[in-house]
Structure formats: structure tokens, C-alpha cells
Amino acid sequence: MATTTTTTTDRDQLLCLGGLGAAAFAVITAVQHHSPSAVVFVSSLALVVVTIVFLTSLRRLQVARRRAEQEAAELRGVKNSLEATLVQARAAAAAAARAKTAFLANMSHELRTPLHAIVGITGLMRERERPADEREWIVTIERSSDALLGVLNDVLDLARLEAGHLRIEQGPCAPRALLDEVARLVQPQVAQAGLVLVVDVDDNVPRWVSTDALRLRQVLLNLVGNAVKFSALRPAAQRSALKAGVAEVPEVRVRLRHRGGGTLRFDVVDSGCGIAAELQTRLFQPFVQGDASSTRRVGGAGLGLAISRELVQLLGGDIEVESTPGQGARFTFTIEAAETAAPPTTTPTSSEVPHIPGAATLRVLVVEDNPVNRAVMELMLARLGIRPVCVDGGAAALVHLRTRRVDVVLLDVQMPDIDGLEVARQVRAGPIPHPALIAVTANALPEEEARAAAGVDGYLTKPVRLEVLAQALTRALTTTKPLTPS
């Protein structure tokens, strides 16, 4: 539109100048011939021509302005429509995020609540003398519940990573000791599969580095666990026949090297069936797994490698895979972990259940609306030498706290009548004597954990293990003086 208007205006200017030039030429000619009437006529004619050209140009300019105003109005309409669409899209995205968070919280609660009973009861059963076959059954239940809990934790970790809520906590870490711990954890699966696990650490690896040991351990357990699972899929004869230096014996190899500065490099090599090239490009995406036959045999949700990549990047490095079908796979990742001083020495913890001073005289109130979990918590506390009082729901807890003396309250967070956090608020705000308050939540999302930790002396995430319960009670009692005499 702007180009058309400019061209029309230039044309009108040329016509006007042409008319003025012709009139000037006619005037000059008339003057030379001494004809005043001709001068007047030509001048009038020139004025008429200029006026017509000027009015025509003005009209065209007015039309162009009206068109420009119309187009501007249309553009404003499009802009307003786009802004409204953007607002609607943002609202829809926020609603979807809230729905996703609510779904994950509900899923966590619904799965962790029965897992709390399974883990708690099997832990108590394992401590008693039983025939070998029954102990094997108990171990099978524990491994199955741990596997289910691992899948649940993977889903929640992925949600934390996508929301940017997962934080790296730097601290002293001993790389050699961490690799030894990972090796001990996977050794039963290694032995069962008839494999050999080889851990190779270069001499120049620092004894202590600064990194998040928990997240590094998570990455190593995932990669080494996968290496064991997929190596076990191949018969021993085939695994021992692999060439090209990938694995001359049926083994899984883990190597740690120091690349200078603060960079550590980990290599995890398996003797499995390898990974196709087209799959390697998307292997680190969520819910992507190997071929269907392998997936059916080893299971898994397809989240471990995606989470491992995100964690490695948060640790300052990256991860990659090299594989040729039929010759195993090599997963390599680096992290930034500067050398640091050793932490203060601590007394090694015993594998036995910690002793709680004055346990027999402690008055513990369990507030839990689920009858199975209420019974499990009562059994676990009895194992610690504590005889608790159990109530069903927040309203009953407030009545009990107003009439009885209590040292510690174990509060389920999500209850139908009055939730645990509201109970804690009323206890803190009212004339009720202040016992130690420990929130027990089945929602493991960061915002739910932060909410559970607000206004209480501690919190536990279901499923609760016996040793973790004992540690929480001990910590709470060190910050809150018991009301009952010891």
C-alpha cells in the first residue's frame, strides 16, 4: 500500500510540474509576441491545471489515509486476537501444569500408602528367625517393592527435572568409596547372571571431590544396573566370544579417570547385544527403551537414561553412548568435581536399629486415617520399645492433645477431616503443650515436601523404614524436650 501511494504522489507531482512548465513556456512566448490577453489566458489555464492536479492528489491522499487507517485497525484486531490466544494458551498451560502436579501428587499418595505397609511389615518379618524358604520369600517381596518404588521415584524425579525443582547439593564425596558401594549393591544381580563386575579407578583420581554424591550414585546405579541386565540377556558362550576388545569375558566394566582440572570421566561397558544406531539418537529421551524383546525381558519404564542425562548435566557434564549391534555398549559421562578436603570423621553407624533413650517412657501419638498403616506404624514403634497411642484423623488428635500429655506426634499429612498440617498449626497456635511434631507424607513432590516440613520438627516420606523412623524420632527429641520424665 505504501509503494502504491508513493508512486501516485510522484506522478501527480510530475503532472503539476509539467503543467507549470508548459504554462511558463506559453507565458514567455506570449510576452515575446506582445500579447497580454494570451498571457492572462495561459496563466489562468496553468492555474486551473495546477488546481486540478492538487485536488486530485489531495483526494488520493485522503483515500490512502483511510485505507491505512483501516489496515491499522485490522492489524490492531489481529494483535488483540493473538494476545487473547496467547493468554488462553498460557492459562491452558498453567491449568495443565496444575493438573499434572495434582495427578502426580495423588499417584504418589495412592502408591506410597500401600507400599508403606508392605515395606514396614516385610522389614519387621525379616528381623525374626525364619526357615530359609520363608526368608527368601521376604527378600522377594522387598525387592519387588523396591522396584516399584524405584519406578515411582523415577516418575517424580522426571517431574522435578521438567519443573526445574531438582537441586544439586554439593558436598564432599569419595569417588572410590562410592564406586565400591555401587558394586556391592549390584553384586547379587551380577552373581545371579554369571557375570564379572570389574571396577577400575586411575591412581590420579582425587580421594575427595565436591559434588552431589546422592545424584552421582543414582546415575551410576542406573547405568551399571542396565549394563548388568542387558549383559545377562546373552548366553555366556556368546558373551565370552565378543571381539574388538569390548568384552573378552562375560563382564561389566566400570572405569573412572581424572581428566585434569576438576573433570571426572566414568565409562560403563557391558557385554550385551548392543544398541542400533537409529535408537542411539533418541535413547536419552523419556520413555524410550531398547528393542521390544529386550524390554519385555528386563522391564523398566524407560526413564532411567533420560533422568541420568539431566542429572549429569546438572553436575556439569554430559553423557554419550557408543555401541555396535552384537558388541555391547559403552556409556561415558563426565562431571565437574573439584578436589576438596575430607569431611570431619564420624562414627560409623551400626546396622542395628538405633537405641532411643527413654523409649519405654515416651508418649507417642500416631495420627493416621488408614487403618493398615496405623497398625504398621504401631508395630514399628513397638519394635523400637515404644507403646504408642493411635487415633483416626486430625479431629481425634486435637481432642487427645488437649487432654493428654504427649512427647511426639507422628502426623499423617493427608487426612479427610483435618489434615496433619492444620493439626500442627493449631497445636503451635493454641494453649496445647508443644510436643515434637513429625509429618508423615505420601506426597514426594518438592512443593509437597516443603509444605509438609513447614511448622513441624521433621517429616518422613512413605514408605517409612524402621531405621529411618528411629533416626527421625531421635532428631526430633534432641530439639524438643520430652514432657514426660525420663
For range 457-468, the mean pLDDT: 86
CA dihedral 274, 279, 283, 286 (to 10 degrees): -130
Mode of pairing for the β-strands spanning 408-412 and 436-441: parallel
Distances (CA, A) of 42 to 27, 30, 81, 181, 372: 6, 9, 58, 109, 113
CATH number, domain of 326, equals 3.30.565.10
Under 8 Å between Cβ of 367 and 377: no
Q: Are residues 215 and 265 in the same domain?
A: yes
pLDDT class of 486 with cuts at 50, 70, 90: very low
| pLDDT tens figures, 160-214 | 777 677 788 899 999 999 999 899 888 888 988 889 999 999 999 999 999 999 8
Residue pointed to by grid coordinates 487415633: 391
Q: What pLDDT does 344 receive?
A: 82
Percent of the chain with pLDDT over 90: 25
- 341 domain residue, yes or no: no
Q: Cα–Cα–Cα angle for 305, 307, 312, nearest 5°?
A: 90
Element housing 268 (H / E): strand 263-269
- Please name the residue ranges forming H helices in 347-445: 371-383, 394-403, 420-429
Dist CA 472 CA 459 (whole Å): 8
Q: Are residues 130 and 220 in the same domain?
A: no
Residue pointed to by grid coordinates 499417584: 107
- Per-residue pLDDT at 267 exceeds 60: yes
Q: What pLDDT does 449 receive?
A: 62
**Containing structural domain, residue 433:** 359-479
| Nearby residues of 141 by Cβ (< 8 Å), 6 or more positions away | 118, 122
Under 8 Å between Cβ of 271 and 233: no
Q: What are the phi and psi torsion angles at 295 (to 5°)? A: -60, -40
CATH number, domain of 431, equals 3.40.50.2300
For range 78-94, the mean pLDDT: 88
Residue type, 357: P
Q: Are residues 268 and 230 in the same domain?
A: yes
For range 13-31, the mean pLDDT: 61
Q: What pLDDT does 162 receive?
A: 72
Q: Which residue has the higher pLDDT, 128 or 392?
A: 392
Based on the structure, what is the number of domains in the chain? 4
Q: What pLDDT does 276 receive?
A: 85
* pLDDT, the chain, mean: 80
| pLDDT tens figures, 360-417 | 889 999 999 989 889 999 999 998 999 999 999 999 999 999 888 899 999 998 888 8
Q: Are residues 155 and 210 in the same domain?
A: no
- Per-residue pLDDT at 485 exceeds 50: no
